[in-house]
Structure 1
């Protein structure tokens, strides 16, 4: 019997950890730097969308829930609303991302989804604003998650489409900055329109539509002429899957993102109630304190995000920044568990903001670096976004469980200690990632990712 043909050697270095693991040069993606116009309008679109998408998670839905469900049950109901609707985000992002990867349109692959999604998003948040009861509120917010992710998935995929590796750290920092500046803007909107639900929900949605449409007009979206075979319904089911054994770097990054996002949402979803019940503030006082806290958080985040993204590009190292920032974020959560005053709350916000700034800048760049296939960028980013959406669905149930542990009333100490432990686990799961970057003679950067098989 003749010997089987020998497999070609990997193009990268062989890892030292085992005979079946190799580091292979990852997909290069775009080679030309994205223009300032594209980068600027991309950031504006992210800002507008995050204002409208995260304002309800941060403040607005809590206020709407308190309007519909008076009393101490509002926190639990709000958590349930977030959990149910997050399931729609979990499904919508990878599916719509996959569909945008294979969209045949003279307007490009990403642009049609963002343009039409913005219209549906405004309509959905209008339903939320006028919701007369909890079932309608849930329906409206589910639609908002569906249409919002019809924008978000293709929007984030344009980073992989448009930005080369040597520019990703600084550009990806914009995602974290705009996300949290959006939360800050949302907090101010909430403080202005505490009792006006129409303005509270619809005004940010219209602003999102304007900024997303502006990006649509500027984006040099590449049209494809041949649609890849996705394998029908069976292939669509695999939209939700990237084999972590074949692509271990992606798998570990996914797990880390899942854990830190869960820890973060245990903080964000219950922060307003914490200020009222533990610190003893009125509703207006809690909103004002939250607004100032988010301002402090965001200032710290903006500074560290830009610095962290730039340093990770210069040092060609993402892991050390992701691990360190996640660990510091965990420390902030544990400190919050023992916070009983407004000044201490502000100190904790500064610590967590600085840590999260580094994390969102560098982790987003790391995510794009370890994508298995640039042609499936939106699909794979959609799978990654499950790690963003699923924790939102679980945060309400996990938070309710932790709040109910061994205490009369809500146990916020258990809630934030639990969140801190989860964040520590998120830091540890980055350790096995074997991604490497090398600078070429022409100044470009080549990424290497771990594969098996």
Structure 2
């Protein structure tokens, strides 16, 4: 195996010491390690969102043109349910892994290969049923990979560097989404080629990260709880760990507010703004959103790390995102849409810069980092399931688009109230 970019780390393991794999990291990670984590995350999100945005809808239309919306909804809905289970379960398994290659890396590779296999199945799927099977395999594999990549942050990154790294992780999700859309609409236009290209990029990012970064193993004789007791406590008790519960609630509400504010923008431009070319208008809005997200993530991440404070920046992001929602609530015009895009991107980027720092600082135990971060990742995934249901009700019965954006603002403001409940983080 190639010498790790982060350099070798040694730690004497005795009965009286904590293994290096479970110790709180103190050495700052180097730019090379950060770059490889960034690329692996880009590949991961590209493998998820290029199919969701382009390939799956096109394939549903090809295989079942009369019921394409239903087919697409069933495929993505079943896959979303699989992701809710795969993330914490793979995280739990990696926490207990005693491979000489480390705890996380074997599962990162396994997840990437499973995801790539699912994409290959989709590339050749002759029916919607096979599409469902392929997409479930993709979601299981890539959400397992997500669990282990996220866990490398508390495993390897010291607290005073986590906001900066967290901001880059958030940016990687946005870039993976954008680059995935470019890949399968501009560079490769066929379904088969698009799926296989995504699979190749996912595996390449995972392999580079695994080969070029360290993953400290658990000692073979290190005691672990029985599987039965671990599965019985697969969640995290809000009563025993209230700070984790408050932070989880904040994370869920922020992501719900962002989903409500962004999922229906194409229809908003068509039906409310009456923009002449909604697709081009959405591209402009997402471009502004992406640039603002990068600015917010990088600048706030460094400020938070240098000050050691997290909650003031969450409250700042909540205020900015709430203003964006308010603008769209009171004004359905093109200038309002542009202004809201910038503010929403700035606020969401600022939040992501400190989110991973806060969430990793309130994890209940080092022995369960990946499992607990799998529970955290449910707060990322669940809004994707809930937002369409809430949006359908709001658009039909509660004020249309003004009601929808008002709901986004309420969810965002509620997130600010939740973060105030976290006591152990400043």
Offset from partner CA, 1:17-56 (integer Å, 9 cap, x none):
xxxxxxxxxx971111112221111111111212222334
State which of 109, 127, 152 in structure 1 corresponds to 2:146.
152
Give the number of the structure with larger relative contact order, counting CA–CA contacts within 8 Å between residues 6 or more apart.
1
When structure 1 is superposed on structure 2, of 143-152 and 201-210 the one drifting more is: 201-210
CA distance in 1, matches of 2:321, 2:118: 33
Deviation at 1:286, TM superposition (A): 4.2
State whether residues 256 and 430 of structure 1, in contact with CA within 8 Å, keep that contact through their aligned partners in structure 2.
Answer: yes
After superposition, where does 1:155-174 map in structure 2 within 5 Å?
155-174=149-168
CA distance in 2, matches of 1:191, 1:340: 29
CA distance in 2, matches of 1:201, 1:146: 16
State which of 376, 388, 391 in structure 1 corresponds to 2:383.
391
Q: Secondary structure at the match of 1:429?
A: helix
Deviation at 1:332, TM superposition (A): 1.9
CA distance in 2, matches of 1:183, 1:149: 16
| Structure 1 residues 259 and 112: CA distance shift in structure 2, 3 A | same
After superposition, where does 1:11-410 map in structure 2 within 5 Å?
29-67=24-62, 78-192=72-186, 196-224=190-218, 225-226=220-221, 228-239=223-234, 241-280=235-274, 285-337=277-329, 340=332, 342-405=334-397
Offset from partner CA, 1:317-339 (integer Å, 9 cap, x none):
10111122023223323434566
State whether residues 88 and 145 of structure 1, in contact with CA within 8 Å, keep that contact through their aligned partners in structure 2.
Answer: yes
Deviation at 1:203, TM superposition (A): 2.0
Q: Secondary structure at the match of 1:404?
A: helix
* Number of aligned positions between the proteins: 404
CA distance in 1, matches of 2:410, 2:188: 34
Deviation at 1:228, TM superposition (A): 4.2
State whether residues 160 and 308 of structure 2, in contact with CA within 8 Å, keep that contact through their aligned partners in structure 1.
Answer: no
Deviation at 1:230, TM superposition (A): 3.6
Q: Could you tell me which residue of structure 1 aligns to residue 10 of structure 2?
A: none
Offset from partner CA, 1:133-179 (integer Å, 9 cap, x none):
54433332222111111111011101111111111111111111111
Deviation at 1:403, TM superposition (A): 3.0
Deviation at 1:264, TM superposition (A): 2.2
Offset from partner CA, 1:72-113 (integer Å, 9 cap, x none):
x76676455433322111111111001001112121111111
| Structure 1 residues 57 and 227: CA distance shift in structure 2, 3 A | farther
| Structure 1 residues 406 and 344: CA distance shift in structure 2, 3 A | closer
State whether residues 76 and 400 of structure 1, in contact with CA within 8 Å, keep that contact through their aligned partners in structure 2.
Answer: no
CA distance in 1, matches of 2:330, 2:64: 29
| Structure 1 residues 338 and 197: CA distance shift in structure 2, 3 A | farther
* TM-score of the pair, normalised by structure 1: 0.81
CA distance in 1, matches of 2:206, 2:65: 36
Offset from partner CA, 1:326-382 (integer Å, 9 cap, x none):
232233234345665555433322111111110001111111111111221111111
Question: Is the helix fraction higher in 1 or 2?
Answer: 2
| Structure 1 residues 399 and 341: CA distance shift in structure 2, 3 A | same
Gaps of 5+ in 2: 1-21
State whether residues 68 and 132 of structure 1, in contact with CA within 8 Å, keep that contact through their aligned partners in structure 2.
Answer: yes
Deviation at 1:232, TM superposition (A): 2.7
State whether residues 82 and 396 of structure 1, in contact with CA within 8 Å, keep that contact through their aligned partners in structure 2.
Answer: no
State whether residues 109 and 206 of structure 2, in contact with CA within 8 Å, keep that contact through their aligned partners in structure 1.
Answer: yes
Offset from partner CA, 1:172-222 (integer Å, 9 cap, x none):
111111111222222333542696323444323321211111001012101
